[in-house]
Amino acid sequence: MNKLIWNTPEYKAIHQKLFWQRGRASDNQCTDCDDNAQDWSHRHDTDALDLINYDPRCKSCHRKYDYSKYGNHRAKLTDDQVREIRQKYSSGSTRKELSKEYGIAPSTAANVALGIKYKNVA
């Protein structure tokens, strides 16, 4: 199953394809509450490269939906990504390399790798 990492070329490309093929999310009602949608939201545990796996959601419902899976609606990284960053850092990847790969600031990459951020992830 393909996953997308926020703010990477792949992430941007799939959202551009969504716009071309399905239009703006804001032209739809939210899947969950029937308010005006604002985002295309990827359905968890489905292929991120398949455009059928995206639903229009308002910001509030999008956060709630992601929180139901990841536990923190503000988190940019999943628990698996945090573990990957820590493993790659301990294997010699630099914070700059990790920041580019995961779409985060170099300081955030270092803080994640060193356990300063995402302390709850083992």
pLDDT at 96: 92
Whole-number CA gyration radius for the chain: 16
| Per-residue pLDDT tens digits for 40-92 | 998 988 888 899 999 999 988 887 787 666 665 556 787 888 999 999 999 99
> Which pLDDT score is estimated for 75?
62
Q: What confidence tens digit (pLDDT) does each residue in 6-30 have?
A: 667 888 888 899 999 999 999 999 9
pTM for this structure? Answer: 0.55
- Is residue 1 exposed (0-12), middle (13-18) or buried (19+ Cβ within 10 Å)? exposed
Sequence ranges of the domains in the chain: 9-70, 79-113
Which residues are bridge partners to 54 per DSSP?
Answer: 42
